[in-house]
Chain A
Amino acid sequence: MLELKAVTKRFGDKTAVDSASFEVDKPKMIGIIGRSGAGKSTLLRILNRLSDASDGQILYDGTDITALKGAQRRAWQSRCAMIFQQFNLVPRMDVVSNVLHGTLNRRSTLATMFNLYPRDDIHKAIEILDRLGIAEQAPKRAEALSGGQQQRVAIARALMQDPSIILADEPIASLDPMNAQIVMDALRRIHEEDGRMVIANLHTLDTARRYCDRVIGMRDGRIVFDGLPDQLTTGAARDIYGAGADFSEAATSTAIETLDRTQRGVVPA
């Protein structure tokens, strides 16, 4: 279904993604983990064609995604929705308009300039918002909503695209634990009920273990782990994050030492 063949992205002499390859044969919920700068976001942006790969191929149902141009590329982007860490909504427009932006690929510029969305689309947008539990926010401006609500508006925009794949770039990194759970539950439900593939960059291991069918670990641009959540042991996680065995203990002891020193030392006047 989806196949990445040695996808590589270079910025100058730095390699952000280093020949990443994996294959997905049916819609799954996939989590990508790794520390910041490991190339997770770059990989998702290449999948959505927000940025171009320097090398390699991405095949979806036999079509080479990386070679698409112009209108075809935009058509792919509409089939491959993206959700961002900072929500990336238009803050001054109302919630429904933001959701309707999911239909932009099908509409002409002139029609969108004059806000001429079909009645059916508007109704569908509100139904999607209702599905995510925020229908009553419909007429409000996006900036008036809380972070968790805004992220759900972003998910609604993605659903409005009726995509086969939903890419989520750190969808819960800016949210408190309560909202994070609501958003992750929503993504999981979309995956299970609609059968859409979800690929999410995550920065917490327990989220990846709890919600995903498959976990891919990246380190310095390379894929270093690809397996089931159960295979993601502490040892495997240490490898992905490049942390030593004594990492947490060392941090704690340093903190206590510093505390001791300040207590003993003379505070300058």
Chain B
Amino acid sequence: MIAVRALAKKIGEQEILRGVDLEVRTGETLAIIGRSGGGKSVLLKHLVGLMEPDAGEIWIEGQNIIGLNERQLGTIRKKVGILFQGGALFDSMTVEENIAFPLREAGERDPNVLRAKVNEMLDVMEMEGEQAKMPVSLSGGMKKRVGLARSIIRRPSCVLYDEPTSGLDPVVADSINRLIRRLQQRFGITSIVVTHDMKSAFDVADRIAYLHEGRIYFHGTSVELQQSSDPLIQDFLLGRSDGQRGHRVES
């Protein structure tokens, strides 16, 4: 469904992506892990055309999106939803208006239909009765849920999650992970989850890709990842810095 070929991106003097190759099958959940500042979010933004690569191709449902202008990308973006790290809710709108926004933009004007669909989404997100709240009065986890509701209300075939559990306590993070799983099972949505939270990656992913120094360093199932003897992967999984590893080897 989604294929990335030799994707490269330089920001200023820094090479963020150096030829990323990736494939995501329909209906599966792929977690992209890697260190902070490693280019995971940049890769994700490329997948909906929010950033333009220096080289490479991105194929979504058989169409190469590179070179399309903003208006042409609109068709692709209706198929691919994205949950931003902070939710990116429109702060001048209530929760209800935020969630209904994509439907309104698609031409839906019937208030009863809009209300019913918003209520259904809030039910899925376990946020009933929060319609009238403004984004400023929501917690981090609630903002992410509302952002997610907004991105899936038009039933996209794929959802991209940018650090869905970052900044959340373990209980709320777990509820977000369960939500991602539930969406995949209920709506058959293909998901790409960018995270450096290993628990989240193991909980939600069918396959895991490890992005290191601008390239996909590892690609496999969570079991394969855990069984890997590669020192770089082991360090990442166990949260060891280079210094600690050196100290361990010496001792």
Is the pairing of A and B real? Answer: no
